[in-house]
Chain A
Amino acid sequence: MSTATRPPHERHPSARTPRRRPLPAGHVLVVMLVTALVGGLLNAAGIRKTANGQPVGIRRDVARFFAEPLYDISHALRMDQFRRALQALSGRSGDDDINTSLPDPIEVDRADPTTSTTRPARKRSFTPADPLVVWIGGDSLAITPGESFVNLAPSTEVIQVVGDRVDGQVATGLARPEVFNWPAHILDVIAQDDPDALVITLGSNDDQTLTGEGGVGPFGSPAWIEEYRRRVGGMMDVVTGDGRRTLFWIGAPIMRNEERSETRYRIINDIYREEAAKRPGRVFYIDIYDRFTENGGYADFIGGVQVRTPDGVHFTREGGDQIAQVVLDQMREAFDLTSWRETARTTAPTTTATPATSAGSRPATTHAGRRTG
């Protein structure tokens, strides 16, 4: 095929195309240095955020040592404005903000019914027309079980998962608010989606020094436990403090590194359990640690089914399905998800309130159109 008959994108550059001018190695280095300088100043806010997100230690200290003054210079020269404008244009304002403040637990006033710690007398009822709106998210261990829950929810006909997706934030927790501030994020979720229930999985990244407001280390010291307890309690109250929402908190599972699991995740899970117990009816702690053990230890296979991925940390789809089922069982205990069927049966000849969905299909009720409160 001659060049003339080739489509334009396949035609090779002709002899008239100007030739590329080669550069000496020294000039290449100059290009790279100027690129780093200009790119560094323009992206200084993002670099500062990334530096703060490094694991606590010398690497983070060095990164911050360079990133903080870089940001100061960029800000003084107003070079950070370009990135901010681009973020605003792409709907991602605030991406570079570092928010390390963490809420305290609410001091419970037992006379105030909205913050009462006594178990509600009646279960809240949900129907296909008035579905239980659930937000599900957490660290990377939330993703596969969350996806399983998204798939399982339609079978109930009354559970609607926010956005039909898992809000998974890899390598996050309550230990490092400068990496990801979960309480602040949850407040955004509540304001935007107003879920009735939230399912959160945290803990597997929290066995480290706590940074941000009230930061303290090392892991496991009495001061660490006290501060982590404050963060967990604060997070639980951010969700449930107004008495309108229920929180299902999934702890860390046993991992292939059993020693680490026993000496670290057990401590973290105990804090979750104790803090949830202080908030009966509002917070349900779901213990999955022992669910994934066999003969007292970590197991890839439970009952002949592979439930853990080869990394010895995350879950396979089957493992995720098992957790999703446990969460659903817990929700059935906490809420009335079935009485609408009885009502529908008894009023069938006169009512038009048929189930909006069937198993496996998406709910007809859109999230935007749901009731509030």
Chain B
Amino acid sequence: MLFPTVTFALFFFIVLPTSWMLMPTRERWKIFMLAASYFFYGYWNWHFVFLLAVSTVVNQAFARAIHATGIESRRRAVLVLAVLFNLSILGYFKYADFFLQSSRDVLEAFGMDPGSSLVNVALPVGISFFTFQALSYVIDVYRRDFEPGTLIDFATFLSFFPHVVAGPIVRGSEFMPQIGEPKDPRRIDASRAFFLIFIGLFKKVVIANYLATEIVDQVFASPGRHSSLELLVGLYAYAVQIYADFSGYTDMAIGLALLLGFRFPLNFDSPYTATSIQDFWRRWHMTLSRWLRDYLYIPLGGNRRGAATTYRNLMLTMVLGGLWHGAAWTFVVWGAIHGVAQSVEHWRRSLRLRRRLPDPPDTRARRWGRRLLTFNIVCLAWVFFRAESIGTAFEYLGNMLDPANWADASPLVTFGVLLAVFVGIAGQYVPRVFTARLMAGFSRLSPVAMGVVLGVALMFINTLGPRGVAPFIYFRF
């Protein structure tokens, strides 16, 4: 079930009032929300509901087993089993074909017949998200940061429909205590919730889908057939498309959860205003970057064991972060570019510290220069993220930088495309004070007036967006 559909609207019309009516009897609420979430998830492919259920039961058993014993070696052994279990699920559904195909390529390179068998298994929607959430739950219990909840609490958390398919990657310690908190049905932060839902819809339906159909899909399908200008604008358009697509989804997820009385962590914070790659990762898919930081980078040693280990850890974290997105070498290169860029930033910083040089003055021109550089490095990495293969990515960059292609006509670079790219980037520079005032003003309207405003907004979004609902990019991750 996709958020921007009539089917989901009908589903939510039933779930919202029922949820608030059952809230006083919390046990009934949990059963209802679990059933609603499984229905939502199973709407794509009901078979995978069993996978989600098995993942829930097994991870809860691991968490309970860790919590039940004080013997460190036993706790550690169960944790290793839990990690292996979760990585095996991911490995089978997500990476089996990647490894088989890579093995085939190696065999072929040595002139051997690789046969023709792949696992060819369908990828369960949201598997990377709920597996990472389950892993963080077990690890937090192991670290004694958090005590395991009941099975129904954990099941409700893991399957909660606003975040089950594409995040944000919420932690048990953030969500599960909220289940037990008293909630006042007379004090819903509705203006912020509706603002997030409608901004998310606009980003997804109007900006992301428009750019995908008008330029991005075409330039990436055949980069050899497009002018340098089309390829350059197409690349910037993809940067905006993926931001609008993914942040639009999580905006809607956060808004829907808020209407149900739950708070999710922020997942995007104007990422294209970042002044360094490190800053970018503090603003882009924030729940994934903090997961990678807390459960991978810091346990590897972080930056505490010398320069060489820091660079290794940065590279490893970013490459694995790339692989999390998908089983392809293009994602490995994407992660490696981010790893190298962060390593260079780290090296420059440490060099300055060693030479006791002062930080350069933080002027406006300097800040904009760094923003521009960061944005273009991020865009360079997006080429590999989006391209079908590494060869296509290099073809894209080669054609884009070829001076001979600059003179070609660029029919895909239209006013509409430039406007959508501009709106997608400029929107990240809108002062928060402005949006806060907008939400506050909206909250003063009567419920009927609010509905009229939102109904008109719905007409603009529905009319301006391309026909049909394209799936969200991050559903495949």
Contact = CB atoms under 8 A, between A and B. Distances in A.
Interface of A: 7-14, 17-25, 27-43, 46-47, 50, 63, 82-83, 86-87, 90, 92, 95, 147, 150-151, 154, 163-166, 170, 294, 299-301, 304, 306, 310-312, 317, 360-362, 366
B468 interface: yes
A219 B455 CA distance: 40
Contacts of A33: 451
Interface stretch (B55-63, B114-122, B313-321): B114-122
B462 A43 contact: yes
B120 A22 contact: no
A312 B430 CA distance: 45
Contacts of A34: 447-448, 450-452, 454-455
B391 to A, nearest CB: 10
B444 interface: yes
Nearest to B113: A304
Contacts of B430: 9
Contacts of B9: 36
B440 interface: yes
A22 B188 contact: yes
A22 B186 contact: yes
B108 to A, nearest CB: 7
Contacts of A28: 16, 188, 190, 259, 447
B447 A31 contact: yes
Interface in B394-443: 404, 408-409, 411, 428-433, 436-437, 439-441, 443
B218 A165 contact: yes
A356 to B, nearest CB: 13
A95 B467 contact: yes
Nearest to B458: A39
Given A30-B447, A36-B13, 6 more contacts: A10-B432, A12-B432, A29-B17, A86-B460, A90-B463, A164-B226
Nearest to B107: A304
Contacts of A150: 221-222, 225
B454 A35 contact: yes
Interface in B96-141: 97, 101, 108, 113-114, 116, 118, 120-122
B275 to A, nearest CB: 10
Given A11-B432, A25-B17, A39-B454, A83 B459 contact: yes
Contact of A163 (B224, B411, B439, B443): B411
Give chain B's interface residue range (CB within 8 Å of chain A).
Answer: 35 or more
A178 B165 CA distance: 32
B121 to A, nearest CB: 8
A230 B458 CA distance: 40
Contacts of A154: 224-225
B194 interface: yes
Interface in B364-394: 367, 388-389
Contacts of A366: 409
B433 A14 contact: yes
B227 A362 contact: yes
Contacts of A9: 270, 273, 428-432
B338 interface: no
Given A28-B16, A35-B458, A95-B467, A20 B431 contact: no
Contacts of B191: 20-21, 23
Contact of B443 (A23, A42, A47, A361): A23
28 contacts: A13-B436, A17-B437, A18-B440, A20-B439, A22-B190, A24-B187, A25-B188, A27-B190, A28-B16, A29-B16, A30-B451, A31-B190, A31-B447, A32-B16, A34-B448, A38-B458, A39-B459, A42-B455, A50-B6, A83-B462, A90-B463, A95-B467, A150-B221, A164-B222, A299-B116, A304-B113, A312-B120, A317-B389
A366 B372 CA distance: 35
A305 to B, nearest CB: 9
Contacts of A170: 468
